[in-house]
Structure 1
């Protein structure tokens, strides 16, 4: 299973495979044609409340990860996560985010969960 994590603002690469935007909001200043997004499962993103809590600096990344993983247990999110897992089983998947630090974002949590199944 091949799962990559990249910023959505980076140019698409030939080996990206299925490009999955994992942000709830469309990235600022990015044309949809330029982004080459294949999937946009908004229900897989953190809740607005959790996202605001984390960006306000009220908790650690570890606490954010735990809270987000709990949100992913909700049936809709779990189903979407399984869908992305199935895509990754078939070929490369690139998780895309506008986060300035993708390695400490919800996208990294998703990548970690997908790689656990590997």
Structure 2
């Protein structure tokens, strides 16, 4: 199972393997104030894509397509996460205010697609 949680509302969760999937550390949170097992900057969107989406948030579907393409070209960043889902719940932590349109939601969809093909 894969779930997404906003890091600002879930600082001390104890469920599953917890991965921060943002390229930049969330503002206003000290590293010792949240529980995470991994900070995977490499699975986050590239800086260019991240900045583009921040500027044009209404283009979520295009962001999703572009991010999927980046992920396809960088399997080393996410393949080990698929293994975590076999033995544990995978929790994708993100900092975006928009809980429905962010990189963690797209990553979750991408990983679930990969799991369904296995």
TM-score by structure 2 length? 0.89
Match of 1:34 in 2: 33
Residue pairs, 1:93-104, within 5 angstroms: 93-104=90-101
**How far apart are the structure 2 equivalents of 1:95 and 1:46?**
14
Match of 1:44 in 2: 43
Q: What 5-or-longer segments of structure 1 have no aligned partner?
A: none
SS of the residue 1:72 aligns to: helix
Match of 1:19 in 2: 18
**How far apart are the structure 1 equivalents of 2:85 and 2:96?**
22
Match of 1:4 in 2: 3
**How far apart are the structure 2 equivalents of 1:58 and 1:103?**
11
Match of 1:60 in 2: 59
Residue pairs, 1:63-74, within 5 angstroms: 63-74=62-73
Higher relative contact order (CA 8 A, sep 6+): 1
Q: Tell me, yes or no, if the aligned pair for 1:53 and 1:59 is still in contact at 8 Å.
A: no
Q: What 5-or-longer segments of structure 2 have no aligned partner?
A: none
- Larger mean CA deviation between 50-59 and 94-103 belongs to 50-59
The size of the alignment, in residue pairs, is: 114
Cα offsets for 1:61-106 (capped at 9, x unmatched):
00000001111122xx311211111111111111000011132111
RMSD: 1.4
Match of 1:88 in 2: 85
Distance apart, 1:41 and its partner CA: 1.3
